[in-house]
Structure 1
Amino acid sequence: MRKPLLKLSLNAIAALPLTVAQLFGASMGLLAYVGSKQYRSLFRPQYEAVVESRNLPLKLWAAIRASGMLFSDSLWIWRNPQKALTLVEVQNWDVVETAINEGHGLVMLTPHLGGFEIIPRVLAQHFPATILYRPSRQAWLNEVVEEGRAYPNMHFVPTNLHGVRQMTRALTRGEAIGILPDQVPSGGEGVWVPFFGRPAYTTPLPARLANRNNTPVVMFTAKRKGLGKGWLMQATRLSPLSEDATISAAELNVAIENAVLVAPEQFIWSYNRYKHPAGAELPPKS
């Protein structure tokens, strides 16, 4: 009974006007921070270390509220894709057009920031996109996510060999593929390289796929503009990534850092970016 109620609750949040949904999300972010020691132990040190190292203003409570909005934005975009598309301002679209017109496909990178779920929907208006995702361990939540993400011209594939093969085929057809580059890969599939000054287990997959056929790599962000005001989507083409897995992963993390700094408070600081996945070698000693 609990799982259907949770699913119903998520659908109810998504049915709210965007402003109300974001206010609700902000409240949930505050509750999670205040009510969970584990949440705080992940969120605050990761966020504070970055703003201190980059001499940025500390906006802890704004970041906490935004963490909940990251969730509510996703729910709202899934349920209201057409409305969401009218609320996104797209900059640098010429970067995307130039890249896809080269005929080698496109590697689309979208960190967990702001309204990141709107990005593949914008691209899907123009060409097909095959997107890599990691299924949730909870079947009911996975069902919610899969239903929400379903959209014309978007094809989701799991993070396994079959999924990678499908992405390779999509690039061969000159289509786009999407990867969430800030997720920690499974043990044995990543390398340890710095992310905001600390060793983070990082995937070299974007470089490996892009370097097969000189495919352009574009980093996207969708910064939240304000309550109910939608998102500002920006695209930055990356320089060709190294053939060396460790170097390319380090280059990738620099690009993610630059994306995060577009809106530091809107990044997913509650996610343990520095965890040691089972089966991975130990990180290098500092």
Structure 2
Amino acid sequence: MSKASRNPHTASGIEYHWGVRKLLLKLCLNAIAALPLALVQAIGAFLGMLAYVGSKQYRSLFRPQYEAVVQARKLPLKLWEAIRASGMLFSDSLWIWRNPKKALKLVEVQNWDVVEAAIGEGHGLVMLTPHLGGFEIIPRVLAQHFPATILYRPSRQEWLNEVVEEGRAYPNMHFVPTNLNGVRQMTRALTRGEAIGILPDQVPSGGEGVWVPFFGRPAYTTPLPARLANRNNTPVVMFTAKRKGLGQGWLMQATRLTPLSEDANTAAAELNIAIENSVLVAPEQFIWSYNRYKHPAGAELPPSN
């Protein structure tokens, strides 16, 4: 038993301080979100540079992952643009959470006929949204037209989880955790002909993925989108929300994928190719600070070269 649990005064003091911190954090986030989008993005860009300069761990993830893709695909190196955009990725999300109506007015939607045709088939829709640009606007656009059940991974930090869940709450959008119950709820949503949303570039828990290439390196990848889509011939659509100029909003595009394989490894490889194509829409706006190649606990070792 910890000292805090033995001493009720200490425990209540800790809870009080956490409560104050959460309140201050929410006040700061609300204050930032009340600013114009251009200023919020400028603040995000500054924080992105600060994180890069101030954190060796951040740099050790960001730069090698970004540079490897740029070199392999013979793209122009725009390191500092990517660093600034990494901060905007989070500031965009914050602003969209707090200003959904304003955000919806700033999104230009292309290829919407692809979405309408897919949902019109009556088998639901598997919506894939990589961490790129203003990705948080995508489910809100869809929620204007039909219900969407979104799979998410709760944060280990309770205060952060509260902030994210509060920010993501939106009419016609239902968030479910990455567990068996969440998958069941998504299956039921598809049965009702509704949309489900998955972040396909997120590393799944050990035992829930397979090792397949992502930009030439083995990456533990979820075969869940294929498994859900193949149950009832559900269309799979990949979405991107490329950030326009400072304060100008986002360009949302939809691409319908060819049916994914029944084989888990082949389907995951097909999925990663689709994610790569989405990243190449705006390579500087992808979340390069995320360790896409980590080995989750409980997962088998990646194949040796």
Distance in 1 separating the partners of 2:33 and 2:292: 27
Selected match of 1:229 from 239, 243, 248 = 248
Residue 128 of structure 1: aligned partner: 147
> Please, which of 225, 249, 258 is the counterpart of residue 268 of structure 2?
249
**Residue 25 of structure 1 corresponds to which residue in structure 2?**
44
- Report whether the alignment pairs 1:198 with 2:217: yes
- For 1:160 and 1:6, locate their aligned partners in 2 and report how far apart those are by CA, in whole Å: 29
70, 90, 111: which one aligns with 2:89: 70
Query: What residue is the counterpart of 1:172 in the other structure?
Result: 191
> Distance between the aligned counterparts of 1:36 and 1:8, measured in 2?
26
- State the distance in 2 between where 1:226 and 1:255 align: 25
CA deviations on 1:13-70 (whole Å, 9 max, x unpaired) are 2111100000000000000000000000000000000000000000000000000000
Q: 2:26 & 2:304 partners in 1: Cα distance?
A: 43
Helix, strand or coil at the partner of 1:226: coil
Q: Partner of 2:178 in structure 1?
A: 159
Q: 3-state SS of the aligned residue for 2:262?
A: coil
User: 8 Å contact 1:91–1:234 — kept in the other structure?
Assistant: yes
2:104 to 85, 95, 108: 85
Name the SS of the counterpart of 1:61 in structure 2: helix
Partners of 1:37 and 1:3 lie apart in 2 by 27
Equivalent of 1:238 in 257, 265, 270: 257
TM-superposed CA distance for 1:12, in Å, is 1.9
1:215 to 227, 231, 234: 234
- The secondary structure found in structure 1 opposite 2:275 is helix
| Amino acid of the structure 1 residue aligned with 2:259 | P
The alignment of Structure 1 onto Structure 2 pairs a total of residues equal to: 286
Task: Name the amino acid aligned to 1:246.
Answer: N
Could you tell me how far 1:6 is from its partner in structure 2? 2.5
Tell me what 1:6 maps to: 25
Q: Matched residue of 1:29: which SS?
A: helix
The equivalent residue for 1:104 is 123
Helix, strand or coil at the partner of 1:235: strand
CA RMSD of aligned residues (A): 0.6
Once the two structures are TM-superposed, the CA of residue 9 in structure 1 deviates from its matched residue by 1.9
Sequence identity of aligned pairs in percent? 90
Q: Does 1:51 align with 2:77?
A: no
What SS does the corresponding residue of 1:3 show, helix, strand or coil?
A: helix
Aligned partner (choices 24, 29, 34) of residue 15 of structure 1: 34
CA distances 1:60-111 after superposition (whole Å, capped 9, x unpaired): 0000000000000000000000000000000000000000000000000000
SS in 1 for 2:142: helix
TM superposition shift of 1:2: 3.1
- Matching residue's letter, 1:223: K
Report the secondary structure of 1:20's partner residue.
helix
- Equivalent in the alignment of 2:304: 285
Q: Which residue of 1 aligns with 2:14?
A: none
Name the CA distance, whole Å, in 2 between partners of 1:82 and 1:34.
Answer: 35
Name the CA distance, whole Å, in 1 between partners of 2:34 and 2:160.
18
Match of 2:200 in 1: 181
Deviation at 1:187, TM superposition (A): 0.2
Q: Which structure has the larger Rg? A: 2
Q: Is the 8 A contact 1:7 1:140 kept in 2?
A: no
